[in-house]
Structure 1
Amino acid sequence: MNDPIDLFGITTSSLELISFVLAVITVVLNIRRVHWAWLFSIVSSATYGVVFYQSLLYGGAALQVVFIVVSVWGWHQWLHGGDKHDLLPVTRSSKQVLLWAGAAWAVGFVLIAGFLDHYTDTDVPYPEGFLTAGSLVGQLLLARKKVENWIVWIIVDVLYVGLFVFKGLNLTAVLYAVFVVLASIGLSTWYRHSSDKP
């Protein structure tokens, strides 16, 4: 599944293409607040984990394992995370949650980048550390149906486009450019549907 294939002038592999399709389905279902998104997230995370590992993007590969675990939790949260163990509503984050999210991103960046720099042969430890930490924050906010998850994803996805181009994962770079557009739609859609908007 890793033999190179040409897709409209973009060199990719069958596994990267499958991962691409599954990831797009995941985000579209997330925007629509359909809980089946988490199933697609689990499968696309598993396939992308292999793609990233083979590209020496160890932070990204490890992140996919974490995404699988968080997806199981997020699926449960969406279905039973409400006040009465019912469907979780879309809400905005408090200032305290945003401060914790920012702090977690910063600490995660330092720890992940340091680990990647000292214990792996990746050639992009600092960009990967920053984006891996940001992705964890975005995924946790998504699991709790916080509107601001989409802001995190916009930032992360824009930067991932450059990283994937650098690593030669051109189809995945296109995917993350699509993600920027989808995350912008998600931000607008979720804000309109949030139960606590001013």
Structure 2
Amino acid sequence: MQEILSKTTWIEWLGVAFAVVQVLLAQKNNIHNYLFGIAGILLAMYVKFHAKLYAEFSLDFYYLIMSIYGWLFWKFGKQQTETPITFTTKTEKYKATGIVFIAFTIFYTFLTRFTDSDVPVWDSLVTAFAWAGMWLMAKRKIENWILLNISNFMAVPLLIHKDLYLYAVLTAFLFVVAIFGYINWYKILKRQQHA
């Protein structure tokens, strides 16, 4: 345990703390969740870049853009009626599968040709599933939680391999949150169908 703590930087502690506060504020529907999320993502990007997790870095960059967009939309945008939660259609399943394959191919090619990544397959797989999951989440498809958890499941040992123990714990926490997210969305979906 002492060795694990000695390998953990203050930047990791702060980044994970911001991420936890962000999740707690998001559950309370508090707009400030985005500000903590942005701070946590910036710190995670720094840590992951130095750990040579370049695909994870690009995923965090995507999260950063979406967080800034979400904060600006929430604060200044005109809110529309909420899109209902639905099951993924056959066409959307093909598209999500395509996103996984295309994202994996792009990231793997980039990592093996232009970086010194020592885990190009692993890093690319984690990121590809997360990109597809985020696409389904934006479309309010319940299966987003499954793809995000495939990514989380693969990310935990990857982060441990890179001695990023706090981020591994955070990702395991997000894995559990995604299980409850799926259950909650399923209940909402069933209520929508009976309304």
Counterpart CA distance in 1 for 2:78 and 2:94 is 22
Matches within 5 A, 1:17-96: 17-28=13-24, 32=27, 34=29, 36=31, 37-74=33-70, 76=73, 85-96=80-91
Percent of residue pairs bearing the same amino acid type = 28
Deviations along 1:66-93, whole A, 9 cap, x unmatched?
A: 211233445549x9798xx333443332
| Secondary structure at the counterpart of residue 163 of structure 2 | coil
Which residue matches 2:162? 167
Q: RMSD over aligned Cα, in angstroms?
A: 2.8
Counterpart CA distance in 1 for 2:155 and 2:145 is 15
Go from structure 1 to structure 2 and tell me whether the alpha carbon gap of 1:169 and 1:112 turns closer, same or farther (over 3 Å shift).
same
Structure 1 stretch 103-112 or stretch 86-95: which is displaced more?
86-95
Which residue matches 1:3? none
Residue type of the alignment partner of 2:140: K
Q: Is the 8 A contact 1:88 1:145 kept in 2?
A: yes
The answer as to 2:179 corresponding to 1:184 is: yes
Richer in strand (by share): 1
Which residue matches 2:113? 118
Go from structure 1 to structure 2 and tell me whether the alpha carbon gap of 1:94 and 1:43 turns closer, same or farther (over 3 Å shift).
farther
Counterpart CA distance in 1 for 2:178 and 2:132 is 15
Go from structure 1 to structure 2 and tell me whether the alpha carbon gap of 1:59 and 1:166 turns closer, same or farther (over 3 Å shift).
same
Structure 1 stretch 8-17 or stretch 183-192: which is displaced more?
8-17
TM-score by length of 2: 0.82
| Secondary structure at the counterpart of residue 62 of structure 2 | helix
Q: Is the 8 A contact 2:100 2:128 kept in 1?
A: yes
User: How many equivalent residue pairs?
Assistant: 189
Residue type of the alignment partner of 1:141: L
Q: Is the 8 A contact 2:99 2:131 kept in 1?
A: no
Q: Structure 2: 5+ residue runs without aligned partners?
A: none
Go from structure 1 to structure 2 and tell me whether the alpha carbon gap of 1:95 and 1:7 turns closer, same or farther (over 3 Å shift).
farther
Structure 1 stretch 6-15 or stretch 172-181: which is displaced more?
6-15
Deviation at 1:171, TM superposition (A): 1.2
TM-score by length of 1: 0.81
Richer in helix (by share): 2
Which residue matches 1:154? 149
Q: Structure 1: 5+ residue runs without aligned partners?
A: 1-5
Residue type of the alignment partner of 2:37: S
| Secondary structure at the counterpart of residue 8 of structure 2 | strand
Deviations along 1:43-64, whole A, 9 cap, x unmatched?
A: 3221110110111111111221
